[in-house]
Structures are given as C-alpha cells and as structure tokens.
Structure 1
Amino acid sequence: MCHWYILIFCVCVYQLIEKLHEKWSPVKKKPYPAMYSSVFGGIILDPAMMVIPIDDHMVHRGHGVFDTGVILDGYLYELDAHLDRFLRSASKARITLPFPRSTLRSILVQLTAASQCKEGTLRYWLSAGPGNFLLSPAKCPTSAFYAVVIADVVSQCKSGVKVITSTIPMKAPQFATMKNVNYLPNVLSIMEAEDEGAYASIWVDDDGFIAEGPNVNVAFITNDKELILPSFDKILSGCTAKRLLELAPKLVEQGHLKSVKTANLTVMEAKSAAEMMYIGSTLPILPIIMWDEQPIGDGKVGDLTMALSDLLWHDMVAGPNTHRICVPY
C-alpha cells in the first residue's frame, strides 16, 4: 500500500511540474535565464521553478526590500553602490541578513555568470521570510534572499517623452527613502499617466516641491545652465542619480554647465526649466519634453541632456573598474 502512495505522489508532482512548464513551452527565448533562492539554497535555471512561498512575509505583508542593477557587456554596473543601498533599506525595514554582505555579493556575481546573460538587469529581494500568515514575522525561522537575472536590451534613450503631475499621494519619507516592495502608489501613479497617454508621472511633495517619478529620479537644467536634482531627504537616493552628480562636473569644467547641485524646486520653477529628464538604472537618462501638455523649453530633446546621457553611458560601458564588475562567465 505504501508503494502505491509513493507512486501516486510522484505522479502528482510530475503533473504539477508539467503544468508549471505549460506557460513557458511556447516561449523560445526565456526572459529569466537564472534565479537564486535561499529557500532552495541554490541557483535555478528553469523559469517554471522560479517561485517563492505564498507564506513569505514579502508576499502577504509587503515586508521586503529590493534593488536592481544593470548587466552590460558582461559587466555589472554600480553593483556595490546598489548593494550598499539594499543593506540600508534592509536595516530600515528591520530585516536581518541571512548571509554577510560578502556572501550576498558573491551570490549575485555567481548568479549572473550562471545565467550567461551579458545584457539585462539583475534584481534582488530580501524578505522577512516564509513561516506563517501572521502580521509579525517573529515566528519566521529566517529571512529569505531571492535574485533574478532578466535578459533585456539596455540602450541610451534619445527620444523625448511626455509626463504628467501625479494625483496619487506619494509615500511618506520614512518609506520613500527605503527601496521597499510596497509599490502600489508607484503602480497607480504610472497607470494614471498611461491613462493620459503619458510615459510616467512626477510627484510633488506636501510642501509643493518636486520629488521624483514612480521609479526614477528627475533632474532639470535651468536657463542659466544649472543642473539641479531634487534633494534626497524625502525621496529615494538613486544610485544612477548620485553617479550623475559625480560625473556632471566634467561639463562644468568644459564650460557647458554653470553648476551641479541638489535643491528644492517648486513646480513653477521646474516647469520653466530649459531641459528636463528622468534618471534611472536602465535608462540611464530619459529626456522629458512635455509636462502636463506644456513643452519643456523648446519642446525638443536638449543638447545638455544628451551630453549628460553620453557621460553616464560611457561610464557604464567603459568606466573605471570600481564601478564596473567583470562577471566570470
């Protein structure tokens, strides 16, 4: 009788796996070449098996943080900067690490190598872990670390886009300054923009100052050729935005820009800018030419915006090794 139970169990498992594979069978090129799960304790190459437990507190309570990096030409760009922010977010979310930082970093590099993906993104999450469906994670045995490599095309954005001012309330500074998985306001914000035929939106804080986009920073070039990014005290400090602040003084030295700084900007000041752009890991810069149906500057992609984009792009493809980690494929 026992043998029959084992046989039935094996058949059920086989049918389950076949069911999971149905989604991916018609897909010729798998978009997720590799995943790591600390729950499984290793790397998974089959996208049908890339799952997380339903009782993980990141799933049913939103108790998790994440970050994203770019894979370009077989290099991981700004891995350490993103990983440092990831750990700061984890500390703010009161999630303990399952491994030391060095182990997390090693896992991410090994995962990228195992994926054989040389262009795309690397996304990773830290959750309070699986264990129960309660509000408190106190009874969860350990936190969980997940990471996925996503094959994608990464290139410069040279066409301008349209944006709107979001009516969806932005997150309070305590949550906006950590990269946590509660992205419902971000989702609703971008859906609102899409409803209006826009690419994305701009958040304005309670004091009337420009904040950020739904998953990107925003920057402006004034008519006096000052590059200004909103202060990071109420919004997420973007790794790419901070790198831009390090690189942009080169254009000041060349006489193209007058200055580079972070500051509070009102909506009126921002809308009167000569140029405007989104800044994010996968963009790295996206020109904005229309805001709430009003043109920014002359309504065309600005020369200084593209000069900044070129600076960042060169840093991504040929910058110093301190910012580009070679993956041992």
Structure 2
Amino acid sequence: MASLRFLPPPQSQNLNSLSTDFVNRRVSYPQQQLNFTKITALTNSDSSSPLLDSKTQVLDVVPLLSSSEAYERLKTFREKIKGKQQYLAMYSSIFGGITTDPAVMVIPMDDHMVHRGHGVFDTAAIMDGYLCSLDQHLDRFLNSALRSKIDPPFDRENIRRILIQTVSASKCRNGSLRYWLSAGPGDFQLSPSGGHESALYAIVIKDLSPAVVTPESRGVKVITSSIPIKHPMFAVTKSVNYLPNVLSKMEAEEAGAFVGIWLDNEGFVAEGPSMNVAFVNKEKELIMPHFDKILSGCTAKRVLALAECLLKQGKLTGIRVKNVTVEEGKEADEMMLIGSGVLVCPVVQWDEQVIGDGKEGHITQALFDLIVEDMKSGPPIVRTLVPY
C-alpha cells in the first residue's frame, strides 16, 4: 500500500516566524519546501492491528478508519491491557442503556467532564451481592452535583434504580460501583450554558488481584504532602478535579510512602488524597479532623458510629471530631487511614516519626473488623440487596 508523506521544512526555516504565522493563520509553504516521498505503510492489511508497538516508532501514515475498524481497534486495545481491574458493565445516559462490552465503555470527547473537569463522582463497594452504603454515597453524590451546578438528568430514585440494575447486569458479587454526573457533551466551550443535557455514567469494576492482608503486611508509611491542599469550597465536593490528589499520591510513592497527608490552611491535619485520617491518642480517645474543610467520608462517618461499641466496651474513653495538630498526630498511639478503598488501614510511620510501637494498634484492628462485618451483615441502612 503506497501513500504520501510530508517531510518537515529545512532546518534553516525561521521557527519564530513560522510560529507567528500560525498564530496569524497565514502560513504558506513555498513549493520547493514540500517533498513528497512514497512510502510503505507500517500497518498490514488488517486494519484492526495496532500501528505502534512502542513510543519510539514513527507513525508514517495516520489511517482513516471506518466505524467498524475503530471499534475493532478499541476491542484489541482493551484485550491487550493487562490491568488489575476488570470492567463488567457500564451504564451511559448517552446511549440510554447498559453494555457489558469494555470496548464501548467510553464517553464523548466534548463531554465537559473530559475537557473542563466539570463533573462529580462517587463509589460504593459491592460485597456478597450487596451494595454497601449506597444511599449515603448517593446523597453525597447529589450534594456534590448541586454545588457544581449540574442538574441531574433523572431524579434520585431513578438514578438509584439505574445503579442497582447496572450492578445486576454485571453479575458482579464482589467489587465496586463507580458513577459520575457530568455537565454533558455538546461543545468545547468553558461553560455548558449552550443547552447541554447532563450525563450519567456508571461502571462496575472487579479487582482481579485483591491484596492479601495479613497482620505482618498491614501498616503503611505516610509523609506530609507538599502539594497544596484544595480550597475548602472544592475539597468538600467530590469532583473529578483530582490533579492535586494524584500529584500528592505520586509524591508519596516517589518517597517510598503510601500516601501524603494534607494540612489545612491553619496547619491542622486535614486528609489524605482519597481517604480520611484518624488517631487514637494516649488517653485512648478516637479523634478525627473536622469535615468542614475536607471531604465528608462516608466510611469515616460509619467508623465513628461503629466505634461507639468500643466506647461501651471500655476500649475507648471518648470519640471526638476536632482540630488535630501535627504534633498530636505524630505522638498518637495509633494512626489510621479510612476510606472505601482501604477501609481502615494502619499507619506505622509519618515522615520520620514512628507511630506508637510501629505496629498496627488494637483499636485500628478492631475498627477494621467492625467495618468489614458491617459490610457483610450490617443493617439494611448500609446494605442494599442487588437482584441478580
């Protein structure tokens, strides 16, 4: 298959002038600067085959694909990914239904969630065929949408029904459900005021290689994050604007730690990039930072409620939500991260300071056991049966 390729202008071309011409939209190429070279395309006759095998190869020809060819390439791309997660079902209000084909689990490029970050999301764990704390997560989801000026395409009850049916279609009994509300597709403008309809997306995820948690492996190191924390106006909203969270997590990984811990604008302990923080002080009080400047964690709030039984058993002397200084945190007997992804994870070192005796504490372990049991056999308020 022969085709034509444009070769770049000679090096003597004035690049500054060329850049200015592009800005003024009056670029012209003298005929002598255009060299046409016949080449052989890198792809074979099977248009579903990937063109590139590595970042170092040069793409000589960009193919023009038909709809079926584009789909086949998406399918091949998905089949080649050796990730730790499997996508079992997706709902999209754009096509008004559920698909179990990962190749078409996509959203439009002109969706304002993609190019402007104008969207919110939430998640719910699936355990033994039940959705955990679905209503609590859904309430936070809709509150985030309200703060983000996104009017949902359906009312709360219909959204809830769609989410449950998506899990049912997936046949997943242990995994997670993640869902988004977007300002919707329609253009690439800054504001969605051009009459867009908001969009709802949901996807069911199964972890293919869940971590095996043993007493010896539990316990992580954290660092104080140098990435600026979000302003409280945005921190309390679970939006898709997660660049600070991503950079904080990457900074921690580069330092050999699990996550970074954010401090608020007054220097008090705030939260991690995707989880809340709690401590057990030397007086055996469970303390947690206020939620007024950080995301109100559904798992964290459930842990606070479950901790009441430890109070009754005398294992805790108190439960408080308060401002926590860094000094208090580092001198605590126990420190833990709390969130839907980690449940209750013990922290054994913060920066250079070893927490307690450097091992998972008894209260942390007890709270982990309580939240797991709650997810497995808790009351109907925290468990929604999925009709498979």
How high is the TM-score relative to the length of structure 2?
Answer: 0.80
Distance between the aligned counterparts of 1:286 and 1:274, measured in 2? 14
Is the Cα–Cα contact under 8 Å of residues 157 and 287 in structure 1 kept in the other structure? Answer: no
Is residue 2:233 matched to residue 1:178? no
| 1:65 alignment partner in structure 2 | 120
Distance between the aligned counterparts of 1:19 and 1:174, measured in 2? 41
Is the Cα–Cα contact under 8 Å of residues 225 and 258 in structure 1 kept in the other structure? Answer: yes
| 1:90 alignment partner in structure 2 | 145
Q: 1:30 to 1:302 in 2, by over 3 A?
A: closer
| 2:6 alignment partner in structure 1 | none
1:23-102 pair list within 5 angstroms: 23-26=77-80, 31-102=86-157
Q: Which residue, out of 212, 227, 238, partners 2:286?
A: 227
| 1:21 alignment partner in structure 2 | 75
Sequence identity (%): 58
Distance between the aligned counterparts of 1:283 and 1:30, measured in 2? 16
Distance between the aligned counterparts of 1:44 and 1:154, measured in 2? 28
Distance between the aligned counterparts of 2:187 and 2:249, measured in 1? 32
| 2:354 alignment partner in structure 1 | 295
Deviation at 1:322, TM superposition (A): 1.6
| One-letter amino acid of the counterpart of residue 162, structure 1 | K
| One-letter amino acid of the counterpart of residue 94, structure 1 | K
Unpaired runs of at least 5, structure 1: 1-10
| One-letter amino acid of the counterpart of residue 15, structure 1 | E
Secondary structure at the aligned position of 2:204 is classed as strand
How high is the TM-score relative to the length of structure 1?
Answer: 0.94
Question: RMSD value over aligned CA atoms?
Answer: 1.5
Is the Cα–Cα contact under 8 Å of residues 153 and 199 in structure 2 kept in the other structure? Answer: yes
What are the superposed Cα offsets for residues 249-289 of structure 1, whole Å, 9 maximum, x if unpaired?
A: 10000000001110001101111000000000122101000
Distance between the aligned counterparts of 1:210 and 1:30, measured in 2? 32
Question: Which structure would you say has the larger Rg?
Answer: 2
Secondary structure at the aligned position of 1:205 is classed as coil
Distance between the aligned counterparts of 2:197 and 2:270, measured in 1? 35
| 1:261 alignment partner in structure 2 | 320
Unpaired runs of at least 5, structure 2: 1-64
Is the Cα–Cα contact under 8 Å of residues 288 and 322 in structure 2 kept in the other structure? Answer: yes
Deviation at 1:154, TM superposition (A): 8.0
Is the Cα–Cα contact under 8 Å of residues 85 and 205 in structure 2 kept in the other structure? Answer: no
Q: Which residue, out of 192, 216, 223, partners 2:275?
A: 216
Q: Which residue, out of 360, 366, 369, partners 1:307?
A: 366
Q: 1:244 to 1:271 in 2, by over 3 A?
A: same
| 2:66 alignment partner in structure 1 | 12
| One-letter amino acid of the counterpart of residue 229, structure 1 | M
Deviation at 1:323, TM superposition (A): 0.7
Is the Cα–Cα contact under 8 Å of residues 75 and 103 in structure 2 kept in the other structure? Answer: yes
What are the superposed Cα offsets for residues 34-70 of structure 1, whole Å, 9 maximum, x if unpaired?
A: 0000001000110010000000000000100000110
Is residue 2:270 matched to residue 1:198? no
Number of residue pairs matched?
Answer: 319
Runs of 4+ in 1 over 4 A off after TM superposition: 26-30, 154-158
Distance between the aligned counterparts of 2:214 and 2:145, measured in 1? 31
Distance between the aligned counterparts of 2:213 and 2:138, measured in 1? 24
Q: 1:115 to 1:15 in 2, by over 3 A?
A: same
Is the Cα–Cα contact under 8 Å of residues 157 and 283 in structure 1 kept in the other structure? Answer: no
Secondary structure at the aligned position of 2:249 is classed as helix
1:92-171 pair list within 5 angstroms: 92-152=147-207, 153=210, 158=215, 159-171=218-230
Secondary structure at the aligned position of 1:298 is classed as coil
| One-letter amino acid of the counterpart of residue 115, structure 2 | H
Distance between the aligned counterparts of 2:146 and 2:213, measured in 1? 33
Distance between the aligned counterparts of 1:298 and 1:141, measured in 2? 56
Deviation larger for 138-147 or 56-65: 138-147
| One-letter amino acid of the counterpart of residue 279, structure 2 | F
| Greater RCO structure (CA 8 Å; 6+ sep) | 1
